[in-house]
Amino acid sequence: MYDIDAIRRDFPILARQVNGKPLVYLDNGASAQKPQVVIDAVTQAYSLEYANVHRGLHTLSTIATEKYEAVRGTVARFLNASNPNNVIFTSGTTEAINLVSYAWAAPRFAAGDEIVLTVLEHHANIVPWHFLRERQGVVLKWVECDANGAVDPQAVIDAIGPRTRLVAVTQMSNVTGTRVDVAAICAGARQKGVPVLVDGSQGAVHGPVDVQAIGCDFYAITGHKLYGPSGSGALYVAPERMGELRPFLGGGDMIETVTRDTVTYARPPLMLEAGTPSIVSQTGFGAALTYLMGVGMPAIAEHEAALRDYARQEFSKRNWVKVQGDTPDKGAIFSFTLDGAAHAHDISTVLDQRGIAVRAGTHCALPLLQHLGVGATCRASFGMYNTTDDVDALMSGLDLCRDLFG
Ligand code: PLP
């Protein structure tokens, strides 16, 4: 059974008040709160086990290295990757996608080669490809979503032409919560011989992930949305792609030897992890993933689906709230505007006065908002510790906004 009270007790921040009201944290899409086990892992790492990794033979360095390297295995288990060495540590999804762009795509793509994207993408899965467009003449091909925010996987597959070298697609929109059938896209792309990068920033938070079943070539996750520390994350690279990566950042730890005239590189994943990494953040990330696997991702998905359905029902009672995009299986992420003049920032400020944290803005997804024909929206994004009481608090906050702004 999903013991929501016990789960809430695991997150100390949920006991605090904001502006004199109990915190209702609905900004999980931006970053999630941390359970005590993560805070403890970080505290222990700094208080008792801190040293640089991969460098020293002394006791603390050995402990730090063992703990840090063990996280690779934890990430592999979380994603069902067959080998921990297919996991490259990154500071988050942004770095992971930039890594694919610099270390894999840039040396291989020529002018006129195409990358297929959907209009749902976060800027982190757009701008690195714009770099290739600007610098190398790569062409970006866009697949639209329908009025409900849905992307037809067949439309993505059909967009793959003879010059397509990569499909880069999100598993879940951070704006509308739309799920994309990335497994179907990977199957179709594979038949056409085209690799697929999946942005799992949101998708991995809201349900179980199996990169082998998805059949993707690259899968990026970010630790701070997975209830871990900021500055942590990972890129899964399929075995057949691993040998195709070229060095990205140069520096310590990624080399085998360096002379005045030559350099040879360590094998991946270390070749892609130059310099002192986010040692403690990754250690905390491992604790977060272990915690999530302990609760069970299927159970979290079920809990959030119930919250989504309840929130959808409550939104639908308020015809003056316009929710952007709705598909039956979407994640519990709702971006909305209110009829009338109220700006998203004003709504967010009123909600904040009641202790309710939502995001207001354009959510690093300007092409999607342009496609939907909206400017700034408010976004309520639910996580594993949210409850129907949180939905009720949001709704009564919105009712107040309606009274205030007309
Ligand atoms: N992709 C999606 C879908 C996101 O929601 C986010 C963060 O909001 C990112 C990528 C970027 O993640 P990060 O800033 O942690 O690198």
Ligand 1: which of 179, 201, 230 to mutate, most ligand atoms within 8 Å of CB?
201
pLDDT tens digits, one per residue of 346-358: 999 999 999 999 9
Active site residue 216: no
How many domains are contained in the chain? 2
The CA 29 to ligand 1 mean position distance, Å, reads 9
Which domain, by its residues, includes 133? 39-294
User: What is the CA(77)–ligand 1 centre distance, in A?
Assistant: 22
- Angstrom CA distances, 318 to 2, 330, 404, stand at 30, 20, 15
Final residue of a structural domain among 294, 315, 350: 294
Three-state secondary structure readout of 162-191: CCEEEEEEECECCCCCCECCHHHHHHHHHH
Distance 334 CA to ligand 1 centre (A): 16
**Average pLDDT over every residue of 336-361:** 92
Token pair listed for 196: 């697929």
Regarding whether 70 and 96 lie in a shared domain, the answer is: yes
Indicate if 84 and 205 belong to the same structural domain: yes
Same domain, 235 and 197: yes
For position 161, which CATH number holds? 3.40.640.10
Say what the pLDDT of residue 319 is.
94
Query: Is 33 part of any domain?
Result: no
Band (pLDDT 50/70/90 cuts) for residue 98 is: very high
Establish how many alpha carbons lie within 13 A of residue 27's alpha carbon, considering only the half-sphere containing its beta carbon. Answer: 19
Rounded to 10 degrees, the C-alpha dihedral 187/209/279/73 comes to -90
Residue at which a domain ends, from 294, 309, 337: 294
Q: Which of 276, 294, 312 is where one domain is finished?
A: 294
Interval 164-182 mean pLDDT: 98
Question: Which of 186, 216, 364, 378 is an active site residue?
Answer: 364
In a domain, 98, yes or no: yes
Q: Give the whole-angstrom CA distance, residue 402 versus residue 406.
A: 5
Nearest-atom number in ligand 1 for the CA of 94 is 16
324: left (phi over 0), alpha (psi -120 to 50) or beta: beta
Does 20 share its domain with 68?
Answer: no
Which residue minimizes the CA distance to atom 6 of ligand 1?
A: 201
Q: How far is the CA of 318 from the centre of ligand 1 (A)?
A: 30
If asked whether residues 249 and 185 sit together in one domain, one would say yes
Structural domain includes residue 273: yes
Quick check: 71 and 102 in contact, CB under 8 A?
no
Q: What atom of ligand 1 comes closest to residue 225's alpha carbon?
A: 15
Q: How confident is the model at residue 340 (pLDDT cuts 50, 70, 90)?
A: confident
Q: For 244-284, how does the pLDDT look when each residue is reduced to its tens digit (9 = 90+)? A: 999 999 999 999 999 999 999 999 999 999 999 999 999 99
Is 345 part of any domain?
A: yes
pLDDT at 56: 77
34: in domain: no
Phi-psi region of 28 (alpha: psi -120 to 50; beta: other; left: phi over 0): alpha
Query: Residues enclosing ligand 1, CB less than 6 A?
Result: 92-94, 122, 124-125, 170, 174, 199, 201-202, 222, 224, 364
Residue 91 CA: which ligand 1 atom is closest? 16
Residues 257 and 302 in one domain: no
pLDDT given at position 341? 67
C-alpha closest to that of 266 among 281, 251, 280, 278: 251
